[in-house]
Every structure is written in structure tokens, then in C-alpha cells.
């Protein structure tokens, strides 16, 4: 399956975090001429709205739906005007994580962009557990953005790579996104000296990643790293290069230590101050053949 961005689903709970996620999605949509789909899931009988001078609680279902639908429409119109992209709104009933995944499939979305810590205005729909659920259940890539993300745009992308097959499945999406956003790709290769020919095979894989980056006209740099805890090192390296995105897989045991993901994935998605794009195994295939490697490229 090829990675193309035509439709981006953005779950909205009207918190500052989800609206920050929407601004990031708006820039991605603008760079890719994609459509945005704003989705809100109603799953409670009582809503708390922040209004001037007081807090307002509403329990009437029809009134709740009317107010939420109006707010969603206003946000869609504002976003469409700001980013000059088509925006569609969707209001559904049910548990957010399940509905997000369901509607991504219903709308044939190519990407989900969501906040990880919904807080004000509405209930905390999209806290870390929901983000984890969506990332694990989704058949399309998911970008999660926490409440510490202030700037928008993607200029630096960290792509961690080890020798496992699953580690390579995210390569095409990372390179295509870097190309669309004119971002620099920071390829981080994790070395395993404990296995026969491990270093040689990793360099072959990194060479193939670099070749794809060159083909797509993506600026890149490659660094080899040996680490006890890959998840910690990914986030540390992301901070060093002022990364705007880390690209990772949701669930696998790699050949290096405990793997880049699996339990490490939860660490990355819950602790990263940098937005994370995660994918489930087997979504993309990236075959590795013969290829030379380098440490830097333009």
C-alpha cells in the first residue's frame, strides 16, 4: 500500500490540545492538498461547557447535540478559511476510540491526527489511554500531539531504524511526509553488536532508506547509535535536532534489546513532547535489497 494523503481525520473535543492537533493537521492538509474531517463522538449524558463567569452543565441530549454540532460547524468553517482546504464535520454517538477507528475506515482516511490530553471544555476524551487504543486499532497512521506542542509545521522528522522487518514498514510514509512538508529526515540507526553481521545488515538497510530519501528529494542525515533503552534515546535525539515528529511502529519486538516499540511504544507516545506518528505492522512494506550506505546526504 502506498502512502498518499487525501483525507485526514481529526478527532475534536474542543480542548486546547485537540485544537492544537487540528492546526497541525491543517498545515499537513495544506501541504498535501488534502481534505480535513473533523469528528466529535458524543458518549455522555451530561456536558460541561465553559462560559463567561460561570460553568454550565447541560443534560438534555437534544440540546447537547445542537450545541456541539454548532461548535463543530464553526470550527470547520474557521479551519477551512485559515488553511484553504475543504473541511467536513462528523458528529457521532459512541465511545471515542472505537468511533475514531470506525470513521477513519468509513471515510477512507489516510491519516488520523489527534491530541493526547483533552482537558478543558468537554470531558477528557483523548487522554493517553485513548490515544494508545486508537494507535493500536487503526489501520492507518496516527499522529498524536500532547498539550505541550505549541508550534505547528513539520521541519524535522526522526526515523528510528533497527534490523527488524517491522521497523522498516514506516519508511515510505516518513519519506513521503518529509517530501510533502519539505522537512529534513533524521535517520537514527540502532546498532546491535551482539548478533552476527548485525552491523553490516543495518548499514545495508540504512543505505536503502537513504536511497529512497534521495529519490524523493528529501534532505537527510544518518546517525548510528548503540543504546540500552531505544525509546529514551529516540526522544533524547528528537530534542537534540528540534524534531517536529517521531515516526514509529505500534507493536513489535525488534532485534535490539526490548525493541523500539511494544512496551517502548507506550513510553514514546505517553512521554514524548514531540508529536508521534505511529503505524501498525504490515501497513506498509519496504523491501531491502543491496545498497550502499552513508552518514549524510542532501
Task: Give the C-alpha separation, 122 to 68, whole Å.
Answer: 10
**pLDDT grade for 59, boundaries at 50, 70 and 90:** low
Q: Is the pLDDT of residue 258 over 50?
A: no
Same fold, 7-145 and 156-297: yes
Domain ranges of the chain: 7-145, 156-297
Q: Identify the pLDDT of residue 43.
A: 73
Report, as an integer, the average pLDDT of 191-199. 69
Task: Give the C-alpha separation, 296 to 160, whole Å.
Answer: 15
Q: Is the pLDDT of residue 227 over 90?
A: no
| Exposure string for 212-229, b = 16+ CB within 10 A, e = fewer | bbeeeebbbbbebeebee
**pLDDT grade for 192, boundaries at 50, 70 and 90:** confident
Domain 7-145: which topology? Answer: Rossmann fold (3.40.50)
Q: Is the pLDDT of residue 231 over 80?
A: yes
Q: Identify the pLDDT of residue 255.
A: 39
Task: Give the C-alpha separation, 100 to 139, whole Å.
Answer: 11
Report the share of the chain in percent with pLDDT over 90.
42
| Across 111-115, 133-137, 157-161, 218-222, least confident range | 133-137
Q: Is the pLDDT of residue 257 over 90?
A: no
The residue behind cell 486499532 is: 137
Q: Identify the pLDDT of residue 261.
A: 42
Specify the higher pLDDT residue, 266 or 142: 142
Domain 156-297: which topology? Answer: Rossmann fold (3.40.50)
Amino acid at each position: 500500500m502506498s502512502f498518499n494523503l487525501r483525507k485526514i481525520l481529526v478527532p475534536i473535543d474542543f480542548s486546547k490540545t485537540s485544537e492544537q492537533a487540528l492546526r497541525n493537521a491543517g498545515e499537513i492538509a495544506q501541504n498535501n492538498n488534502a481534505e480535513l474531517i473533523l469528528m466529535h463522538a458524543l458518549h455522555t449524558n451530561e456536558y460541561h461547557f465553559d462560559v463567561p463567569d460561570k460553568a454550565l452543565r447541560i443534560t438534555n441530549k437534544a440540546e447537547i447535540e445542537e450545541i456541539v454540532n454548532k461548535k463543530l460547524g464553526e470550527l470547520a468553517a474557521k479551519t477551512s478559511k485559515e488553511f484553504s482546504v475543504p473541511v467536513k464535520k462528523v458528529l457521532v454517538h459512541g465511545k471515542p476510540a472505537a468511533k475514531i477507528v470506525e470513521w477513519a475506515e468509513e471515510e477512507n482516511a489516510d491519516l488520523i491526527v489527534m491530541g493526547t490530553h483533552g482537558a478543558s471544555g468537554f470531558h477528557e476524551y483523548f487522554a493517553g489511554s485513548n490515544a494508545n487504543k486508537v494507535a493500536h486499532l487503526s489501520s492507518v497512521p496516527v499522529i498524536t500531539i500532547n498539550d505541550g506542542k505549541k508550534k505547528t509545521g513539520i521541519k524535522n522528522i526522526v526515523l528510528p531504524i533497527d534490523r527488524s522487518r517491522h521497523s522498516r514498514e514506516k519508511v515510505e510514509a516518513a519519506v513521503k511526509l518529509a517530501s510533502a512538508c519539505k522537512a529534513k529526515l533524521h535517520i537514527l540507526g540502532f546498532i546491535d553488536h551482539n548478533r552476527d553481521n548485525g552491523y553490516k545488515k543495518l548499514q545495508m538497510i540504512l543505505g536503502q532508506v537513504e536511497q529512497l530519501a534521495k529519490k524523493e528529494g528529501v534532505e537527510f542525515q544518518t546517525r548510528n547509535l548503540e543504546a540500552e533503552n531505544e525509546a529514551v534515546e529516540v526522544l533524547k535525539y528528537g530534542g537534540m535536532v528540534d524534531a517536529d515528529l517521531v515516526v514509529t511502529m505500534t507493536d513489535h519486538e525488534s532485534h535490539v534489546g526490548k525493541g523500539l516499540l511494544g512496551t517502548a511504544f507506550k513510553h514514546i507516545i505517553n512521554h514524548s513532547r514531540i508529536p508521534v506518528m505511529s503505524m501498525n505492522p504490515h501497513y506498509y512494506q519496504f523491501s531491502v535489497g543491496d545498497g550502499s550506505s552513508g552518514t549524510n546526504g542532501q
